[in-house]
A and B are shown apart, each in its own frame.
Chain A
């Protein structure tokens, strides 16, 4: 059943396309050697090129080109061996050159696609129209002084990838799933950190509505939405607004809008009439960008495993779809899991990572990049479990001590004498003591009160300090109580 919004005139379908601006991970800017680190002092990472000084010229940063090509390969997209930078001309105080260098007519990456997973377990292909490289502008700060604006050019010239989707999404959920998957791919590739709250990934959301079977109606663009949740909210809010306009007998005007996150509505930013004439033309300072196929091939050969491939591999290991999903969502989680699982039972490893380990992360409000227990130590704990050195119950206790002390489970088991007792004679001795102390209960059991077996297991484990091997305790108890 496809997603629709109910209006007065019946159901409406939503059409969504996204333009995502993803900041390229690189040490220096697209056309200058200035640094790109987030959070630096204002105007501390600005070269004369970024500030548009007289006589300054752009030179292409090869790292940024490689990152765009790797992203294109990750999106299974065509790589254009010939691309070109154009100038997009407009005046603004935080645009020092008076133009943005972008790829308007000939982008570096062409058509590609992304497969997204939806809540009902289905998947859907979303088309990628293109990916192009461009410079970011600086930042205007209007709230520091009653009559002045401040300009921070740290971001000016930073490389952005603009990733444009086809209008293939039909619900807020699909838009959210697309963004989530795109961000996952970018993070796997290491081409964008995907941190929307730091502005290193932002989305322009194109929304229109239509009746079933119609062609596209006029769309509006909601600019600069900075979280996946807000994108989903903006899609719905804008679609509802448009439905209201159409149903009132009006027409939707093509315009640029902003999403008011407090009120949950979109409002007009500028209409088509006062749209800029950007006077695009090829940047004469930069010759066309020509790539060698062999260079692209080498980048392709060195691509890391991508989420889809990793998911397929985990499913083949016998992990549950849920475990596969949560383990592959973030590359760091997958790397952690694989360290734990290396040379060990994958299912056991998955259970521990998604179970006790994730619970600990949540409880301690820690991140996978700063885990309370290292993957190596968790792996060692699984080894102790597998070779019966400790019991499953004891393992949980050891895990907690590992969090407290940061020590290896091998060390802890040794230090605290937690080794599981598998010596038959020793366990028999404990059982004998337990039976001697509970003669009445032994008699009841022998007279048919089977339920008391659990009592004897508990008492024996307690008397052994939890160290007796539970399977052996069971076996020996059955024999001795018989």
Chain B
């Protein structure tokens, strides 16, 4: 017998429409899973069962009347970086204290509009700064997967959207929102064996999303599979006059593109992504992906993205610079936590020292430094120039190919106790993903295989600006060819 949590989002939607299941029983099944597993996985910072069940009843009423939106009755988790009206929003930081926004982010509002049910707020790295979800002030998230040869070792879910990816993998939500500034959707999706897409910069509104690095941040979904991601993105995306960087362009039917196939498409393989010391199984997976797409009728093109090696250092100048300014508003004056001080400066110093964790403080200091008089030209300005070159690399590549295939991460999930002493080693997790943020292009992680220890590995599909449809088409082809059916050891 099929359990309620076995349904994918698309299947659940159909079952709800057909009234073979109710939104209330589906929601209750997810709440039960959360009650059972969240104490261990820690995917949720805040769970809102009463609100969720009330929403579910409202959805059932609409569905019974033959009404309801595209996601009517679907239980979702919201990354705790999205402001949610009346529900505490923390950004996984102490500095926001008990901040409860009196407003809703545009993206979560869109999901609500379409009938989505909110189970609660998902854990993340503090202010989305991290690749392990270990920097959260609310404790780390545990990856529901474990190594076959060391099942007791607790692994990271990746980050910063670690709560979103772990919740999908452990079946604690049917769809989740996430954000991606340097890989924060794709890397955790890869580590947890689920699908996630960072759409084109400007596709989803940033209004109401706690800002990390404004020119890089982009919201997107993490879900069970490529189709579920497409259904989520169809609801999340769209022009928003409240975000000046949101782009007024039509939102196509992404779900329809998933089955489109890759026949006749040119798939670029960037030679610069073949890095020294890359594990053999990552290389093997990549070759496997190339073979699958070739077999489906795509042509494979060797391309060059010559400035790839500068992407990580560029990212770690631009992102902290913007963050250092974006996080200035957390000063203890108007909202959030406040420490007492003898004067204004001491109030600032104590509040921010107590409120921000070590990684956030590190990035604020890096960002402040690279924007300082005398260093601006050498760091920030230079980084922006390199960023323009990275973007141009892609512009030139699109003359030769329609989409690009790369590995999503340089390794499978690592241990909760690994890499934390060395921030640079941690930053290297983003090596395959950051270029898409710097260039503003869409990128998707698709689970494609398991490593020798039985941990999921993913491929990444990159596309042209606002051509998510091709990204979904290629990702769909990879997904069908891979036939990834493995499930984690911990699952509701």
Instruction: Show the binding face of A for B, using Cβ within 8 Å.
Output: 48, 51-60, 87, 89, 91-93, 96-99, 149, 151, 277, 279-281, 284-287
- Check B331 against A57 for contact (C-beta < 8 Å): no
Residue B194 CB within 8 A of the other chain:
no
- Check A284 against B372 for contact (C-beta < 8 Å): no
Instruction: Show the binding face of B for A, using Cβ within 8 Å.
Output: 82-83, 89, 91, 96, 99, 101-103, 105, 206-211, 213-215, 241-245, 321-322, 324-325, 327-329, 331, 333-335, 344-345, 348, 368, 371-373, 376, 380
Q: Knowing A277-B373, A279-B371, say if A53 contacts B335 (CB, 8 Å).
A: yes
> Which 8 pairs from chain A and chain B are nearest by CB?
A98-B328, A284-B214, A284-B215, A279-B371, A52-B329, A55-B208, A54-B210, A55-B83
Q: Knowing A57-B206, A57-B243, say if A281 contacts B380 (CB, 8 Å).
A: yes
- Check A281 against B371 for contact (C-beta < 8 Å): yes
- Check B83 against A54 for contact (C-beta < 8 Å): yes
List A contacts of B345 (CB < 8 A): 91
Which residue of chain A lies nearest to B99 when distances are taken between CB atoms in the complex? A54
- Check A93 against B344 for contact (C-beta < 8 Å): yes
| Complex alpha-carbon distance, A92 and B328, angstroms | 10
- Check B331 against A98 for contact (C-beta < 8 Å): yes
Which residue of chain A lies nearest to B372 when distances are taken between CB atoms in the complex? A277
List A contacts of B329 (CB < 8 A): 52-54, 96-98
Give A98 Cβ to nearest chain B Cβ, in Å.
2
- Check B334 against A279 for contact (C-beta < 8 Å): no
- Check B368 against A54 for contact (C-beta < 8 Å): no
A–B Cβ pairs within 8 angstroms, 13 of them: A48-B102, A51-B334, A54-B335, A55-B82, A89-B324, A91-B348, A97-B329, A98-B329, A99-B325, A277-B373, A279-B368, A285-B211, A286-B244
- Check B376 against A57 for contact (C-beta < 8 Å): no
Which residue of chain A lies nearest to B333 when distances are taken between CB atoms in the complex? A93
| Complex alpha-carbon distance, A277 and B368, angstroms | 10
List B contacts of A97 (CB < 8 A): 328-329
| Complex alpha-carbon distance, A92 and B368, angstroms | 17
Give B13 Cβ to nearest chain A Cβ, in Å.
29
- Check A279 against B325 for contact (C-beta < 8 Å): yes
- Check B214 against A55 for contact (C-beta < 8 Å): no
Which residue of chain B lies nearest to A277 when distances are taken between CB atoms in the complex? B373
Give A278 Cβ to nearest chain B Cβ, in Å.
8
Which residue of chain A lies nearest to B329 when distances are taken between CB atoms in the complex? A52
- Check A57 against B244 for contact (C-beta < 8 Å): yes
Which residue of chain B lies nearest to A289 when distances are taken between CB atoms in the complex? B244
Which residue of chain B lies nearest to A89 when distances are taken between CB atoms in the complex? B325
List A contacts of B373 (CB < 8 A): 277, 279
Interface of A, secondary structure class, is: loop
List A contacts of B101 (CB < 8 A): 53-55
| Complex alpha-carbon distance, A56 and B89, angstroms | 14
Among the listed B91, B103, B324, which residue makes an inter-chain contact with A48, where contact means beta carbons less than 8 Å apart?
A: B103
- Check A285 against B245 for contact (C-beta < 8 Å): yes
List A contacts of B244 (CB < 8 A): 57-60, 285-287
Give A46 Cβ to nearest chain B Cβ, in Å.
10
Give A428 Cβ to nearest chain B Cβ, in Å.
82
List A contacts of B241 (CB < 8 A): 59
| Complex alpha-carbon distance, A229 and B96, angstroms | 48
List B contacts of A287 (CB < 8 A): 244-245
| Complex alpha-carbon distance, A151 and B331, angstroms | 14
Give the one of B91, B206, B211 with max A CB within 10 A: B211
Give B103 Cβ to nearest chain A Cβ, in Å.
6
Beyond the given A53-B335, A55-B207, A281-B371, please list 4 additional residue pairs across the A-B interface where CB-CB is below 8 A: A52-B334, A54-B99, A98-B327, A151-B333
| Complex alpha-carbon distance, A1 and B409, angstroms | 78
- Check A57 against B242 for contact (C-beta < 8 Å): yes
| Complex alpha-carbon distance, A284 and B323, angstroms | 11
List A contacts of B321 (CB < 8 A): 281
Give the one of A54, A97, A151, A279 with max B CB within 10 A: A54
Which residue of chain B lies nearest to A140 when distances are taken between CB atoms in the complex? B344
| Complex alpha-carbon distance, A54 and B93, angstroms | 12
| Complex alpha-carbon distance, A260 and B413, angstroms | 66
Which residue of chain B lies nearest to A90 when distances are taken between CB atoms in the complex? B328
| Complex alpha-carbon distance, A87 and B214, angstroms | 13
Q: Knowing A54-B91, A55-B208, A284-B214, say if A87 contacts B325 (CB, 8 Å).
A: yes
| Complex alpha-carbon distance, A59 and B99, angstroms | 24
Which residue of chain B lies nearest to A276 when distances are taken between CB atoms in the complex? B373
| Complex alpha-carbon distance, A54 and B215, angstroms | 16
Give B323 Cβ to nearest chain A Cβ, in Å.
11
| Complex alpha-carbon distance, A56 and B376, angstroms | 26
Which residue of chain A lies nearest to B202 when distances are taken between CB atoms in the complex? A287
| Complex alpha-carbon distance, A396 and B158, angstroms | 90
- Check B209 against A55 for contact (C-beta < 8 Å): yes
List B contacts of A56 (CB < 8 A): 207-208
| Complex alpha-carbon distance, A59 and B207, angstroms | 11
- Check B328 against A55 for contact (C-beta < 8 Å): no
- Check B325 against A281 for contact (C-beta < 8 Å): yes
List A contacts of B371 (CB < 8 A): 89, 279-281
| Complex alpha-carbon distance, A55 and B329, angstroms | 11
Which residue of chain A lies nearest to B321 when distances are taken between CB atoms in the complex? A281
Which residue of chain B lies nearest to A285 when distances are taken between CB atoms in the complex? B214
| Complex alpha-carbon distance, A279 and B206, angstroms | 24
Q: Knowing A87-B325, A91-B348, A93-B344, say if A59 contacts B242 (CB, 8 Å).
A: yes
| Complex alpha-carbon distance, A98 and B345, angstroms | 13
List A contacts of B344 (CB < 8 A): 92-93, 149
Give A121 Cβ to nearest chain B Cβ, in Å.
47
Which residue of chain A lies nearest to B381 when distances are taken between CB atoms in the complex? A281
| Complex alpha-carbon distance, A48 and B99, angstroms | 13
Give B99 Cβ to nearest chain A Cβ, in Å.
7
| Complex alpha-carbon distance, A91 and B243, angstroms | 25
- Check B242 against A54 for contact (C-beta < 8 Å): no
| Complex alpha-carbon distance, A281 and B241, angstroms | 24
Give the one of A53, A97, A280, A286 with max B CB within 10 A: A53
List B contacts of A285 (CB < 8 A): 211, 214, 244-245
- Check B325 against A98 for contact (C-beta < 8 Å): yes
Give A134 Cβ to nearest chain B Cβ, in Å.
16
List A contacts of B82 (CB < 8 A): 55
List B contacts of A55 (CB < 8 A): 82-83, 101, 105, 206-211
| Complex alpha-carbon distance, A358 and B325, angstroms | 55
Give the one of A55, A60, A99, A151 with max B CB within 10 A: A55
List B contacts of A98 (CB < 8 A): 325, 327-329, 331
| Complex alpha-carbon distance, A99 and B328, angstroms | 8
Among the listed A58, A280, A284, A286, which residue makes an inter-chain contact with B322, where contact means beta carbons less than 8 Å apart?
A: A284
Give A436 Cβ to nearest chain B Cβ, in Å.
90
Give B385 Cβ to nearest chain A Cβ, in Å.
13
- Check B215 against A91 for contact (C-beta < 8 Å): no
List B contacts of A60 (CB < 8 A): 244
Give A285 Cβ to nearest chain B Cβ, in Å.
5
| Complex alpha-carbon distance, A177 and B243, angstroms | 43
| Complex alpha-carbon distance, A96 and B82, angstroms | 20
List A contacts of B213 (CB < 8 A): 284
| Complex alpha-carbon distance, A149 and B333, angstroms | 11
Give the one of A52, A57, A87, A277 with max B CB within 10 A: A57
List A contacts of B83 (CB < 8 A): 54-55
